[in-house]
A and B are shown apart, each in its own frame.
Chain A
Amino acid sequence: MNQWLDDRLHISRLNDKFLRKAFPVHHSFFLGEITLFSLIILILTGILLALSYEPSNSMVVNSFDPGTVDAPNLVPAAYHSALKINAAPFGDMLRRIHHWTANIMVAASVIHMMRIYFTGAFKKPREINWWIGMLLLIFAALTAVTGYVLPYDNYAYNTLKVIYSIAASIPWVGEWVAQAAFAGKFPGDGVIPRVYGYHIMLLPGILLALTAAHMLIMIKQKHTQPQYAKRIAYKKIVGVPLMTQQTPIMLMLTLLFAGIIVLFSAFIPVHPVEHFGPPSTTPIDNIKPDWYLLWVFGVLAIIPGFEFNLLGGNINSEFVGAILLPTLTLGAMFAVPMLDRSKENLYYAENPTNHPVRLGIGVAFMMLLAVWSVAGYKPELISSGILTTENANTVLWIATFLVPALSYFFVQAVVRGIRALREADERDRTVHAAHADD
Chain B
Amino acid sequence: MTRYKRQDPEITRRKFINVAMGTTAAVGGVSLLSTLGAANPVFRLTADKMPPLEGDILVHAEESKEGRPITVADLSTQLVRAWAQGQDENGQPVIRKGDPNNILAVYRFPQGQLVAPTNLDATVDGQIVVYSDICTHAGCSVSDSDINAGQMRCPCHSGEYDPKRGAIVTGGPPPKPLAQLPIRQDGERLVVAGFFLSPPYPYHNNEAEWNNVKEEVEEALT
- Listed in ascending order, the chain A residues whose CB lies under 8 Å from chain B are 158, 161-162, 164-166, 168-169, 175-176, 179-181, 183-190, 279-287, 297, 300-301, 303-307, 314, 316-318, 321-322, 378-379, 382-383, 389, 393
Residues of B within 8 A of A281 (CB): 61, 81, 97, 100, 103, 133, 141
Q: Which of B168-184 contact A (CB under 8 A)?
A: 169, 171-176
Q: Give chain B nearest CB distance to A333 CB in angstroms.
A: 24
Does B68 count as interface, using CB distance less than 8 angstroms?
Answer: no
- Among A161, A166, A383, max chain B CB count under 10 A is at A161
Does B140 count as interface, using CB distance less than 8 angstroms?
Answer: yes
Considering only CB atoms, which chain B residue lies closest to A185 in the complex? B43
| Contact across chains for B40 and A317 when beta carbons are under 8 A apart | no
Q: Give chain A nearest CB distance to B179 CB in angstroms.
A: 15
Does B156 count as interface, using CB distance less than 8 angstroms?
Answer: yes
Q: Are A389 and B147 also in contact (CB < 8 A) when A168-B202, A286-B155, A301-B158 are?
A: yes
| Contact across chains for B139 and A165 when beta carbons are under 8 A apart | yes
Known: A281-B133, A378-B158. 16 other contacts (CB 8 A): A158-B156, A179-B40, A180-B36, A183-B39, A184-B41, A189-B41, A285-B143, A285-B146, A287-B140, A300-B173, A314-B206, A316-B175, A318-B137, A322-B138, A379-B155, A389-B148
User: In the assembly, what is the distance between CA of A379 and CA of B61, in Å?
Assistant: 26
Q: Give chain B nearest CB distance to A377 CB in angstroms.
A: 10
Does B189 count as interface, using CB distance less than 8 angstroms?
Answer: no
Q: Which of B38-93 contact A (CB under 8 A)?
A: 39-41, 43, 61-63, 81
Q: Give chain A nearest CB distance to B117 CB in angstroms.
A: 16
User: In the assembly, what is the distance between CA of A8 and CA of B62, in Å?
Assistant: 69
CB<8 Å pairs between A and B, sample of 19: A158-B156, A162-B156, A169-B138, A179-B41, A183-B39, A183-B41, A190-B41, A279-B100, A283-B141, A283-B156, A285-B155, A305-B169, A314-B206, A316-B175, A317-B173, A379-B147, A383-B146, A389-B147, A389-B171
| Contact across chains for A161 and B140 when beta carbons are under 8 A apart | yes
Q: Give chain B nearest CB distance to A416 CB in angstroms.
A: 41
User: Which of B40, B61, B133 contacts A184 (CB under 8 A)?
Assistant: B40
Q: Rank and list the top 10 A-B pairs by shortest CB-CB distance, nearest first.
A: A165-B138, A283-B141, A180-B40, A300-B157, A307-B175, A314-B205, A180-B39, A305-B175, A281-B103, A165-B139
Considering only CB atoms, which chain A residue lies closest to B209 in the complex? A175
User: In the assembly, what is the distance between CA of A279 and CA of B205, in Å?
Assistant: 26
| Contact across chains for B173 and A305 when beta carbons are under 8 A apart | yes
Residues of B within 8 A of A282 (CB): 62-63, 81, 141
Q: Give chain B nearest CB distance to A284 CB in angstroms.
A: 6
Q: Give chain A nearest CB distance to B148 CB in angstroms.
A: 6
Residues of A within 8 A of B147 (CB): 379, 382-383, 389
Considering only CB atoms, which chain A residue lies closest to B143 in the complex? A283
User: Which of B40, B140, B172 contacts A305 (CB under 8 A)?
Assistant: B172
Residues of A within 8 A of B143 (CB): 283, 285
User: In the assembly, what is the distance between CA of A166 and CA of B122, in Å?
Assistant: 32
| Contact across chains for A162 and B140 when beta carbons are under 8 A apart | yes
Q: Give chain B nearest CB distance to A307 CB in angstroms.
A: 4
Considering only CB atoms, which chain B residue lies closest to A309 in the complex? B205
Residues of B within 8 A of A187 (CB): 100
| Contact across chains for A317 and B175 when beta carbons are under 8 A apart | yes
| Contact across chains for B138 and A303 when beta carbons are under 8 A apart | no
User: Which of A162, A307, A389 contacts B160 (CB under 8 A)?
Assistant: A389
Residues of A within 8 A of B41 (CB): 179, 183-184, 188-190
A-facing mask of B178-200, CB < 8 A → 1, else 0? Answer: 00000000000000000000000
Residues of B within 8 A of A303 (CB): 173
User: In the assembly, what is the distance between CA of A383 and CA of B147, in Å?
Assistant: 6
User: In the assembly, what is the distance between CA of A389 and CA of B161, in Å?
Assistant: 12
| Contact across chains for B140 and A321 when beta carbons are under 8 A apart | no
Considering only CB atoms, which chain A residue lies closest to B142 in the complex? A283
Residues of A within 8 A of B62 (CB): 282
